[in-house]
Structure 1
């Protein structure tokens, strides 16, 4: 008797943490679809990690709806990784843009795929240490992700579906900081950790992979910090 292959969708899967998560899930035997706005970047990442690419803007409801035809008919794992810090001089626009990029994307994709979730499916959304330490509009958006996930865990829990947040601290080898990372800022962030090193995309991917495994069925509604001790959960 053969066991059905589990399927996964990873948003924002073209670079950094999303790409590392996709690679880890592929290595664990899942069929993975990565999504993102940049078709060329996405295609390159998909070829590298052994996934399939579907390009669309997760913040656009019509684009999400149109993409459903290319997404798996049954979803065992959804990782909401799309997002990031959005800069801007206009205060209102900056706050709305961060909320859209980090919260609306996750809500739209999760809601669209919910009818396709298998029993015992796993939903993991990427948060941030900034959600509990400040961080302006970006931190506020990541705090909202935690509140939404807490409700989602109870909405989906009757079918054995879990919903959790993985909350990284400072992670190198991503596009998050762009050209804003200085040597002094890096030193400050690393000095805040207990283990004296920055995080890596692989660190985050390992935590996500566990939470999406069948063995993690009794962990739901939680925020799992991956920050080297920079912020202690007690």
Structure 2
């Protein structure tokens, strides 16, 4: 499941949310201030942020605007939590860049449903729905990849890489983008690491005749090709 950062200065609320998210299988981190949240996002880009409006120092609204203005965090999914229920507050939160908005008090069931909805729209690879690309089927729940009835053995990094590419077919991803979204933190990892794992992924797919699914786009990065076009893909 996904990496989720909870930015909430009330420990009881933060812990309740964290317990429910961990039960759902998410990797959860908690920050009690805007500064702590910025540090955590700098160290490792999460897949979703649950952001409280009222924080010590910088407000959640200001923090959301800051993330939306940065290229690295521009697409970061954000759900804002607030005790404010006026329509103008809702508009302000959404204008700041929040993808959704939940008013306190709220049920954990409603929050989990909102999280699933945002991830489904913004980050389909964080869900457990099986994905298919031509003859290849990837099951996130069992962490297995199949070609017809034959299982395709993959290492954990190659699995995450294929999962991300299959969730965004035909889109070109630079090495830096792949490091951010697959490895989670590209600061201490060289770009050529991506090339090594792409090579391993292709080698694993080769016995199934599917190595050409992973295309190199010269000077740009990599993409998952449309299966019916792979036979014509440039090498």
User: TM-score per shorter chain, which class?
Assistant: 0.3 to 0.5
TM-score (norm 1): 0.40
Task: State which structure, 1 or 2, has the greater radius of gyration over its C-alpha atoms.
Answer: 2
TM-score (norm 2): 0.40
Higher relative contact order (CA 8 A, sep 6+): 1
